[in-house]
């Protein structure tokens, strides 16, 4: 029994070595046609990395030829299978543009978007692939409204949209929480929250963004010089009105009302101060005359 096992092992090892030797021979010295056949063989036996090395060598020779459609799809799929998702997304997208009439066009369009989604990092990282995935899923939904993949595409789109919103909300919040150390960050926070609210209407973060927009504006008033306060008080009160108008029963209402009361007191105080300054200036003018 042990002898049979040993023979089987040796046979398998021999086949493997022969296969590896054949692959290396074709890779280094084979003709274009031999490399193409070997690439397809490696692809079909799920040896995708080896297939990609061969496809890379033969692609220039097959440009403009009928085989190129198949090659380009296999290159995209092989990259997907070895988890080169950004590269796969790029090649699937190229396939849809180069072969718009292909029977695999719909599949490639979905896989392009899905590849970019899988490449999309956590919300704190560079959002380039997230944006590409969003655009690709939106294009797929528009181009294939009757596809059985539309529901999945919509779910992926929502997930990615949430991720991107969270990134921009977190950035705006960081500006706010660091403004004690750098007053310029109050302005940056206000602008960042405004951008989020205008770019993502109906955002899942809308209520919280409106609240922190108010907080940033309120705190900015209290850190401002007397000369700057009137315009900033007006902006902060408008932020309060926007929060309450959109969320009359907001979970932040109690805190928002306290901020409004502070702003209104400041508004009265600053108005009285400005009136007094004007009186003093007027008196100086009269005295000079």
Q: Tell me what the mean pLDDT of segment 94-98 comes to.
A: 96
pLDDT digits 0-9 by tens, 115-161:
999 998 765 577 899 999 999 999 999 999 999 999 999 999 999 99
**Common-topology check for domains 24-147 and 181-288:** yes
* CATH number for the domain running over 24-147: 1.25.40.10
CATH 1.20.1060.10 for domain 181-288, yes or no, is: no
Q: Where are the domains of the chain?
A: 24-147, 181-288
Full 3-state SS string of the chain: CHHHHHHHHHHHHHHHHHHHHHHHHHHHHCCHHHHHHHHHHHHHCCCHHHHHHHHHHHHHHHCCCCHHHHHHHHHHHHHHHCCCHHHHHHHHHHHHHHCCCCCCHHHHHHHHHHHHHHHCCCCCCCCHHHHHHHHHHHHHHHHCCCCCCHHHHHHHHHHHHHHHHHHHHHHHHHHHHCCCCCCHHHHHHHHHHHHHHHHCCCCCCHHHHHHHHHHHHHHHHHHCCCCCHHHHHHHHHHHHHHHHHHCCCCCCHHHHHHHHHHHHHHHHHHHHHHHHHHHHHHHHHHHHC
Q: Is the pLDDT of residue 14 over 70?
A: no
pTM of the shown model: 0.79
pLDDT band with cut points at 50, 70 and 90 for residue 1: low
pLDDT digits 0-9 by tens, 15-58:
444 556 789 998 888 889 999 999 999 999 999 999 999 999 99
């Amino acid at each position: 029994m042990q002898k049979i096992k040993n023979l089987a092992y040796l046979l398998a090892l021999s086949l493997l070595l022969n296969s590896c030797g054949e692959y290396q021979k074709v890779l280094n010295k084979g003709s274009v046609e031999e490399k193409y056949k070997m690439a397809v063989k490696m692809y079909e036996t799920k040896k995708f990395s080896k297939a990609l090395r061969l496809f890379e060598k033969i692609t220039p020779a097959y440009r403009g030829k009928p085989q190129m459609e198949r090659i380009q799809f296999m290159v995209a799929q092989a990259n997907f299978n070895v988890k080169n998702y950004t590269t796969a997304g790029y090649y699937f997208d190229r396939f849809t543009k180069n072969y718009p009439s292909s029977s695999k066009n719909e599949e490639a369009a979905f896989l392009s978007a899905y590849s970019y989604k899988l490449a999309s990092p956590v919300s704190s990282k560079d959002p380039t692939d997230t944006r590409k995935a969003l655009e690709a899923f939106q294009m797929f939904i528009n181009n294939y409204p009757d596809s059985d993949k539309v529901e999945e595409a919509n779910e992926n789109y929502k997930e990615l949209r949430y991720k991107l919103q969270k990134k921009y909300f977190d950035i705006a919040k960081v500006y706010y929480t660091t403004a004690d150390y750098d007053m310029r960050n109050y302005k940056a926070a206000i602008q960042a929250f405004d951008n989020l609210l205008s770019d993502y209407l109906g955002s899942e973060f809308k209520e919280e963004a409106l609240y922190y927009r108010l907080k940033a504006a309120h705190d900015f008033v209290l850190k401002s010089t007397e000369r700057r306060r009137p315009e900033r008080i007006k902006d902060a009160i408008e932020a309060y009105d926007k929060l309450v108008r959109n969320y009359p029963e907001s979970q932040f209402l109690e805190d928002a009302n306290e901020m409004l009361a502070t702003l209104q007191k400041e508004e009265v105080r600053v108005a009285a101060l400005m009136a007094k300054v004007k009186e003093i200036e007027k008196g100086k003018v009269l005295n000079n005359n």
